[in-house]
């Protein structure tokens, strides 16, 4: 298990951070050697439980997470997939505000 505060920090970066802030958060998670599949699973749980995120954004994020998990199984780069999910999450959240 990844400490929940680390996952909440990722969601916070998506809500109000710049791309550089999101990139830095993704690098921190990779450098901490957390498994990306676990990050994605916990990220989904935190996003779904967040009442400030709209239902449409939650659905979009869930679909993107599933796509990226498939790409990881196929051998894609973990850092790039995490960065893709986080930037897409940020875009989805801000588009519905």
User: Which residue do the tokens 């679909």 mark?
Assistant: 63
- DSSP assignment letter at 53: S
Q: Which pLDDT belongs to residue 17? A: 77
Local structure of residue 3 (DSSP, 8 states): -
* pLDDT digit string, tens, across residues 49-92: 999 999 999 999 999 999 999 999 999 999 999 999 999 999 99
Q: How confident is the model at residue 97 (pLDDT cuts 50, 70, 90)?
A: low
Q: Report the CATH number that the domain containing residue 67 is assigned in CATH.
A: 1.20.272.10
Q: Residue 13 in contact with residue 42, Cβ under 8 Å?
A: no
Domain range for 23 is 4-95
List Cβ<8 Å contacts ≥24 apart for 55-61.
56/92, 56/96, 57/89, 57/92, 57/93, 57/95, 57/96, 60/88, 60/92, 61/85, 61/88, 61/89, 61/92
Rounded to two decimals, what is the model's pTM? 0.92
How many distinct structural domains can be found in the chain? 1
Which pLDDT belongs to residue 69?
95
């Amino acid at each position: 298990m990844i400490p929940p505060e680390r996952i909440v920090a990722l969601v916070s970066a998506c809500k109000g951070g710049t791309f550089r802030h999101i990139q830095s958060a993704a690098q921190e998670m990779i450098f901490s050697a957390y498994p990306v599949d676990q990050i994605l699973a916990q990220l989904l749980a935190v996003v779904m439980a967040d009442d400030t995120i709209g239902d449409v954004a939650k659905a979009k994020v869930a679909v993107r997470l599933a796509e990226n998990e498939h790409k990881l199984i196929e051998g894609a780069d973990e850092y790039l997939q995490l960065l893709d999910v986080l930037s897409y999450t940020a875009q989805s959240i801000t588009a519905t505000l």
